[in-house]
Amino acid sequence: MRSIADLPTIHAPTPYDLFLFGEGRHQRAWEFLGAHYGLLGGVVGVSFSTWAPSAAAVAVIGDFNGWDQRASVLSPIGSSGVWSGFVAGAEIGQCYKFAIQTANGEWIEKADPYARATEVPPRTASIVTGEALPVDQRSTRVADQQRWLGGEPVSVYEVHLGSFEREWGEETYERAALTLVERIVSLGFTHVEFLPLTEHPYGGSWGYQATSYFAPTSRWGSLQALIGLVDALHQAGVGVILDWVPGHFATDAHGLYRFDGTALYEHLDPRQGIHPDWGSAIFNFSRNEVRSFLLSSARYWIEIIGFDAIRVDAVASMLYLDYSRDEWVPNEYGGREDLAAQRFLREFNEMVPTLGAGTATIAEESTAFPNVTRPTSLGGLGFGFKWNMGWMHDTLDYFAREPIHRQWHHHQLTFGLLYAFSENFILPISHDEVVHGKGSLYSKMPGDHWQKLANVRACLAWMWTHPGKKLLFMGCEFAQQSEWSESASLLDQRELTEHGDGVEQVVRDLNRIYRTTPALYSLDHSGDGFAWIATSDSASNVIGFCRFASDAHRRAGASTVAVLANFSPVPRDRYVVGLPFSGVWKEIFNGDATIYGGSGLGNLGVIEAVERASGRYPYSAEVVLPPLSVVIMEHSGEDEPCGLELRR
């Protein structure tokens, strides 16, 4: 037990805190708002503070005062809208809420917006918790997180933690520190991305409609247990990404909605304040205190819990005032752009990179909004990366077609390269693509069981060799046959999947090759790293390209790779392909290998390019292209210029 001398001293909100908060520029507002346990004037207890500018009165109710709203009344601090008070004898672990009297005299009970722990839903109270040690004092952040900023491999395993192994319950964070970490390391992913972990009332929302922006969901354990999971991932060399939802929030009565009886966190006008698709409330980004709230939330998850990157959900719905609406309110210039939301996103993207080496932001943005990953200093939104939704939809649509029809859709494979380097893209096959009747990745594929598995292997190999970082939702790595459900255990589904181990081995090998082959990642966001070698043979469903390493990697001995794909069930024997370099090319991956469940056709490990022009190249080779598969060839000699401008 800690002695009184070891307890932290509670500090009241300073005038500077309140000034920054009111300006929308406070990034650590959790330090003076919410519940804080410690010493005040030598007395042990808890300080409670909340922002409720339109309230007529505010009290804190909880286990420490018999839930009596008359016992612990808070006082307003000037004109800041913040109410604060100290409850002697209140302790860590006790439940509480704020009792707020609205302007019309009604009393409502609200959970603490800045609470760092909550009861397990459907219970709704906040819980007093101790102060967590900042991550920079734990020294567990991944040392090489500069991979986000430079040309390094990034392959992300997207996880819904609650359905990874269903029986965990409130031990999920602790168990995941063993089982999940082991699986991610075994598969070779560099990062894990968690679907939202902020507390949410309805489990079926997967966290996308939150009621708390500081408290991790208590369904799966405590704040300290989540910090332990993040630390375990870092110690294993895995970066950790949080899926975060600053665009909208749940309208449950105990949450942020109408917090002080008025539209405080959200817009009053339903044309601005209620999302037409999800029925959730939309944050009012014009309100300074709301921006301070959200900036502080993002900083808390990085600075205190230890996340390395934040992926912002549904950015498109934040950028446009008319998103999914027939009736909408134009901006001050008469346009459809949400200028306040864009301002917030720029502030967020300017803040996050300052929080640690390699911390990053990612946008799930589904429109053609320009310059999403361009720096704010150059007029962009400032995200580090953007999900390439167009690539995802085109690719999955192509692979869902019978091979005999793919020749008419060859452009779905080539079109993406017209814009592949316009943003810093991540290629996602995400949870959204394997739910709500869309079917699993396996069930999307045509053909019998063998052909479906072959198509999954080919699709994954196409993804891993295509320019752009990678993200794959759990279950796709072993070709889960049933559609994903949050109520079914992933590991149970793995046991039920016939021959899924071959696909899983493909993912392991692709991750290994990806991480050790600079040509496949070092110029992901530059046309200098890419050149077509076969684009026009749509009738054969054959396509191919070269990937080049950066100059620095080439000087260190990195080789060029050629990627050749045959998306037809017909093998192509002695297929002639032009290549930029002569000599031996080593076959480092063959999706049709028997170890993966394929038919075993291939090139016996090598091909040789000779001085015989084909297409734009002075050299060519005869290659065996197995059915429904991708082959990766690495040039084994020192790459020398062939007299052509090789790159795009």
Catalytic residue annotation: 313, 364
- Return the DSSP state at 134: P
Distant-in-sequence, close-in-space partners of 116: CB < 8 Å, separation ≥ 6: 30, 34, 129, 132, 214, 215, 223
CB of 28 closer than 8 Å to CB of 299: yes
| Measured distance CA(346)–CA(369) in Å, rounded | 14
Helix boundaries (H) for 15-168: 15-23
Tokens 């609200």 found at: 110
Residue 36, classed as helix, strand or coil, is strand
Backbone angles phi, psi at 357, to 5 degrees: -60, 120
DSSP E strands in 364-515: the ranges are: 385-387, 425-429, 469-473
- Token digits for 443? 């069930």
The pair of three-digit structure tokens given for residue 350, joined into one six-digit string: 């300017």
Q: Which residues pair with residue 622 across a beta bridge?
A: 576
In angstroms, how far apart are the furthest CA atoms of the chain?
A: 91
Q: How far apart (Å, rounded) are the C-alpha atoms in residues 416 and 388?
A: 9
Are 211 and 255 in contact by the 8 Å Cβ rule? The answer is yes
Q: Are strands 191-194 and 43-51 parallel, antiparallel or unpaired?
A: unpaired
Contact 36, 77 (CB under 8 A): no
Alpha carbon distance 244, 206 (integer Å): 12
Name the CA dihedral angle for 429, 435, 437, 442, rounded to a multiple of 10 degrees: 50
599: left (phi over 0), alpha (psi -120 to 50) or beta: alpha
Kindly report the number of other CB atoms within 10 A of residue 123's CB atom.
Answer: 10
d(C-alpha 194, C-alpha 242), whole Å: 5
Q: Which helix (H) or strand (E) holds 579?
A: strand 572-579
Q: Whole-angstrom distance between the N-terminal and C-terminal Cα of the chain?
A: 65
Which of 599, 602, 601 is CA-nearest to residue 450?
Answer: 599
- Nearest Cα to Cα of residue 72 among 107, 33, 37, 46: 46
Instruction: Please name the residue ranges forming H helices in 119-190.
Output: 172-176, 179-187
Tokens found for residue 605: 């490990």
